Structure 1
Amino acid sequence: MPFENRPDRGDEVVLVGRSNVGKSTLMRELTGHSFDTGGKPGVTRQPNHYDWAGPDFMFTDLPGFGFMSGVEEGKREQIKTDVVRYVEANADDILAGVLVVDGKAVIDIIDRHRGNGDIPHDVEMFHFLQDVGIDPIVAVNKMDKVDDRDERLDELCDRLGLFPPWQQYQETICPITAKTGSIEPLESALAQRFRDAKRDELLQFVS
């Protein structure tokens, strides 16, 4: 079983996504705890879990998939497989699956892979979360670098099979900039997931 050292915790929120989209930076903003981040993809190779002494809950930053500098394709595919297996194995305990994407690059990346006849990883992961019963949240990171905000978010909805405009999916499409701590749309979406799960005591972690 991949990623065997899962803490003995019940519910969790998982962060998934390509390498170098800012998952570890977002994890820092959500938990107040620093994790290894790097300018080159693939710094995180094992899950980073963060829990608290009281509530039966944790945040989990899963390793990034896709291109990683200096990592051979077989290893990259194994990491992606391990991520999928982890989510499948723990789906019943995952209150929210947060797919983190790079707001500036995600449309180009999706279209490039689709043009090659592939299913883009981001689209595949979005639908995979739905398939295992997890209502996905898309944290569209690095929005400070995006000029055509609404147009870009509408295009992302289109690629994910959601009918634009994006504003009707504010519990699903969350534009953020983790580096500057601007993550309020994501915190709001997570808060709604916690309320839906009757876990109001977890609201302290997203306020």
Structure 2
Amino acid sequence: MFEDRPDRDEVVLVGRSNVGKSTLMRELTGHDVPTGRKPGVTRQPNHFDWASEGFMFTDLPGFGFMSGVPEEQREQIKTDVVRYVEDNADDILAGVLVVDGKSVVDIIDRHSGEGEVPHDVELFHFLRDVEVPTVVAVNKMDKVDDRDERLDDLCDRLGILPPWQQWRDTVAPICAKRGDIDALTDALETHFHEAKRDDLLKFL
């Protein structure tokens, strides 16, 4: 279980291992975040805070398949992530679900058997159920050719109606590695504004 959470408002980053959460975190915060070739480098929440502002970005551990990590441990990580969000929902200004634009639709389809809810879909609905404003940061879009079609397919899988363009505060196509994260910061701006936290816009 994760402990020692600083007491402040936050934006949390959640998602599978290896979708580029730590790279995105580096873009958002300017801090050097440990990223690894091996999935599962982040095992505890990484908080990047501004003490004077009562605000932080939090990179939560990746979940899902990780080579060399036993299933029991993977499940525990996912449980801890869910519990963290549940326990702190009142202080979370936005939950950013980071997905790999190139593979997310295929991964969702692969895990959509009977009685099975894919992690990404489950997490999206969970964040909304606990009333955390949710943005899906669709990363690695530089590797996607049929951009609009892919984003529409993702909306469809998440249970929100395409076209994706009408969900700009929910679906944000980005490429963290290239520093192209404007769609995400625009979406976060909307949520900060709605939470009456315009004082935090300078962090975006």
The root-mean-square deviation of aligned C-alpha atoms, in Å, is: 0.9
**Structure 2 SS opposite 1:140:** strand
Q: Does 1:196 align with 2:191?
A: no
Q: Secondary structure at the match of 1:99?
A: strand
Aligned counterparts, 1:114-129, within 5 A: 114-115=112-113, 117-129=115-127
Which is worse superposed, 85-94 or 189-198?
189-198
**Cα distance in 2 between the residues matched to 1:39 and 1:165:** 35
Does residue 181 (structure 1) correspond to residue 182 (structure 2)? The answer is no
- Kindly state the Cα deviation for residue 40 of structure 1 after the two structures are TM-superposed: 2.2
- How far the C-alpha of 1:202 sits from its partner, in A, is 0.4
Residue 118 of structure 1 deviates from its aligned partner by: 1.5
Q: Aligned match of 2:69 in 63, 71, 74?
A: 71
The one-letter amino acid paired with 2:59 is D
Q: Which deviations, in whole Å up to 9, do the C-alpha atoms of 1:42-66 show, x marking residues without a partner?
A: 1111100000132010000000010
Measure, in 1, the Cα distance between the counterparts of 2:118 and 2:38. 21
How many aligned residue pairs are there? 204
1:117, distance to aligned residue in structure 2 (A):
4.4
Superposed CA offset, 1:148-205 (max 9, x none): 0000000000000011100000110000000010000000011111111111110001
Work out the CA distance in 2 between the residues paired with 1:104 and 1:70. 24
Within-5 A mapping of 1:107-118: 107-115=105-113, 117-118=115-116
1:3 equivalent in structure 2: 2
Partner of 2:37: helix, strand, or coil? coil
Instruction: Tell me, yes or no, if structure 1 residue 90 matches structure 2 residue 88.
Output: yes
Q: What's the TM-score, normalizing by structure 2? A: 0.98
The 3-state SS of whatever aligns with 1:95 is: strand
Deviations 1:96-115 (Å, cap 9, x if unpaired)?
00000000000000000003
Is residue 41 of structure 1 aligned with residue 44 of structure 2? no
Identity fraction in percent? 75
Q: Which amino acid aligns with 1:144?
A: D
Gap runs ≥5 in structure 2: none
Q: Tell me, in whole angstroms, the C-alpha distance in 2 between the residues paired with 1:136 and 1:172.
A: 6
Aligned equivalents of 1:122, 1:192: Cα separation in 2: 23
Q: Which amino acid aligns with 2:2?
A: F
Alignment of 1:143-158 (within 5 A): 143-158=141-156
* In structure 1, distance between residues paired with 2:195 and 2:52: 18
CA deviation digits over 1:112-131, x for unaligned, max 9?
00036410000000000011
C-alpha distance in 2 between matches for 1:121 and 1:105? 14
Partner Cα separation in structure 1 for residue 38 and residue 170 of structure 2: 28
Within 2, Cα distance between the matches of 1:175 and 1:36?
A: 23
- Taking the aligned partners of 1:109 and 1:38, their CA distance within structure 2 comes to 22
Q: Which amino acid aligns with 2:51?
A: A
- AA at the equivalent of 1:135: P
Moved more, 34-43 or 86-95: 34-43
